[in-house]
Structure 1
Amino acid sequence: MHKTFDLPSKKERHKRFGSVPPIKGTKPKNKDEMKDLQNTPNDFLFSINSVGISNVKHPVILHSDLLPSVQTTIGTFSLTTSLTQMSKGINMSRLTELLQKYHEEEGFVLSFEQLRRFTKELAVIMNQTAASIEVTFPWFFERKSPALAKVGLMHADAKISVTYDQETKQFTYVTGLTAAVTTLCPCSKEISEYSAHNQRGYVRIETELYSDSIGEKDWKKILLEAAESNASASLHPVLKRPDEKMVTEKAYENPRFVEDMVRLVAADLYENNDIRAFTVECRNEESIHVHDAVATIKFEKE
């Protein structure tokens, strides 16, 4: 038998737990009558390179050379502009207003073409000399097992950003990808009578491009290939025994230190004529050590 009792009204419950009635305010409620602190002119000592919002999650549309060719994923946005010395602050609500406008008009497509239009329009509506957008997102792609061609979905964490400078009318393009791979220890293979320890490695690549010409290709696939083709072996979502044999033996045939990994990936990026500068990092979650192993290369072609 359920116990029953009489509850006070919801209004009374809220009052009992601390709610109080609103006060009769004296400040204006209409926007035109409110004081705008952000647009109050003065000498505020320094200009600011970038100010805005980050960690904004929003649905985005993604095109890929690997299946699925069109996908909807979740982007995490950073939206910023410059700020002059004579301005106290920016109107941050305009940042998400513009994001919503693009979403309603055509959906937010992660293409260089749309990001160029977005940053240019953002600089104009904010009345600033520079604007930037950065989006990080998970990218999914099909992967077949090496022997039996069993299909499953893999994913990598990707990044794309565009910055617009209104004074020079120039854009800066940056792409990035973090891919998980298998690495097998060359030292372990050399000194052991049999077997060798291996582990999961994470290859993080960030590139600055000469232009958006790489956008005509799938830059995600290019960076993924640079990471995986130089690893001991790739990861797979589905592996049967014949597949596992092939992957294990491939790793044994291609031992890699973290130092080897960053140098080999850097060589691929250096050969890519779309890439002006790059950073490559490999971090191994060591299987027989309590620490991770890490190596990094930063390089500018000019």
Structure 2
Amino acid sequence: MQQNQQHASLWPNKAARLKLFGSIPSVSGEKPVEAEGMHDLQNVQHDFLFALDQVGIGNLRYPLIVHSTLLPSTMTTSARFRLTTSLSQQSRGINMSRLTEQLELARQNGLSDRLDDLTTLTQNLARHMQQKQAELEVEYDWYYERQAPRSGRLGLNHAIARLELNHTMASALHVKATLEVQITTLCPCSRDISEYSAHNQRGRLTIEIIPANGLLPDDWKERLLEVAESNASSIPYPVLKRPDEKHITEQAYENARFVEDMLRLSAADLYEIEWISSFQIQCRNEESIHQHDAVGSITYSRTSAYSME
């Protein structure tokens, strides 16, 4: 300690060290340093050839309160935001700092993943930016308790939730909700042709829905999670003991599923949920006996000519 102090006394002071590593004095200029005297390029009005559909900020990480009917009922997670507004042909640009200002004000008021909170934020973006349209996208990890099927041991699983809101002065709010869920699938063909055993894999089911009239129930995440997990061969668990592993291994064997099966079974469940206007499901299985994935998708809308009946 004493030796270090002796060496330190021989070092140059802080200012000299910064100068040694390249710092230079500030340059005094003639341009204003207060906002009132600065030229506001964003607010220049002229004919700038085109109006813009969207302009703003993306990949912004910010805290978000997540509500759930599963435990934990409330938690704060890190969310990824994209905030944009339209831009008229006569305006040069937008004041992007106002977007983060509105997000921070919403956080101070308890911003959560409930539709009412996100709708208010989206409307405020359009109003404070003085634009006709605003869009908000937020993606976040939703954690929920999962209990092992035999031992009852608890842990947290997670799914990826995403909400997209489009607010336009002249029309109703447009909402899209997505949940990405991990599942387990066991190959029916492998089970059918083998004397014993069958290969299985981790799958990923992505369910994207548009609710009727832009109305999304508070338990939408839980409803989509149930659709994904109830149709899978089995599901992943955070904590498993040997009796649990035996149970889910046998459960997967008893409920073999192709990618095609997962898509059709999940589509049938979504079709029966009256508040869902349209949906798209994508399934991706990370094959354990191939270097490629098995993939598939299905899209359905109640307003289209296609019928599932």
Amino acid at match of 2:63: P
**Unmatched tracts of structure 1, length 5 or more:** none
Does the 8 Å CA contact 2:111/2:118 hold for their aligned counterparts? Answer: no
Alignment length (residue pairs): 299
Residues of 2 paired with 1:259 and 1:47: CA distance?
Answer: 43
- Alpha-carbon displacement from aligned partner over 1:208-261 (angstroms, at most 9, x marks no partner): 11135432x400001101111111111111222222121111111111111211
Partner of 1:221: 222
Distance, in Å, in 2 between the alignment partners of 1:113 and 1:121 is 12
> Distance in 2 between the 1:160 and 1:141 partners?
18
Contact between 1:65 and 1:218, CA under 8 Å: does it hold in 2? yes
User: Which residues of structure 2 form unaligned runs of 5+?
Assistant: 304-309
Write the deviation string for residues 31-81 of structure 1: whole angstroms up to 9, x where unpaired: 111111111111212111111111111111111110111111111111111
**1:159-178 maps to which residues of 2 (within 5 A)?**
159-168=162-171, 170-178=172-180
User: Which of the numbers 79, 84, 97 marks the counterpart of 2:83?
Assistant: 79
Looking at structure 2, the residues matched to 213 and 83 of structure 1 have their Cα atoms a distance apart, in angstroms, of 27
Contact 2:151 2:244 in 1 (8 A): yes
1:103-138 residue CA offsets vs partner (Å, 9 max, x unmatched): 22x221111111111111111110111111111111
Distance 2:228 2:150 in 1: 21
Residues 112 and 212 of structure 1 are in contact (CA less than 8 Å); yes or no, is this contact kept in structure 2? Answer: no
The answer to whether the 8 A contact 1:258-1:294 is kept is yes
Residue 121 of structure 1 is matched in structure 2 by 124
Structure 2: how far apart are the matches of 1:236 and 1:124? 45
Question: Which residue of structure 1 lines up, in the alignment, with residue 196 of structure 2?
Answer: 194
Q: Which runs of 4+ in 1 moved over 6 A?
A: none
- Residue 23 in 1 paired to residue 24 in 2? no
Partner of 2:53: 49
Amino acid at match of 1:234: I
Q: Which aligned pairs between 1:108-257 and structure 2 lie closer than 5 A?
A: 108-168=111-171, 170-215=172-217, 217-257=218-258
- Comparing 87-96 with 149-158, greater Cα deviation is found at 149-158
Matched, 1:61 2:65: yes
Contact 2:115 2:216 in 1 (8 A): no
AA matched with 2:216: I
Q: Is the 8 A contact 2:186 2:255 kept in 1?
A: yes
CA contact 2:80–2:139 (8 Å) conserved in 1: yes
Superposed counterparts of 1:245-284, under 5 Å: 245-284=246-285
- The amino acid that maps onto 1:224 is L
Residue deviations 1:259-287, cap 9 Å, x none?
Answer: 21112212211221111121211111111
> Normalising by structure 2, what TM-score?
0.93
Confirm or deny: 8 A CA contact 1:286 1:292 kept in the other structure: yes
Residues 203 and 282 in structure 1, CA contact (< 8 A), matched pair in contact too: yes
The CA deviation string for residues 142-162 of structure 1, in whole angstroms up to 9 with x for no partner, is: 111122322221111111222
Distance 1:100 1:131 in 2: 17
Structure 1 length-normalised TM: 0.95
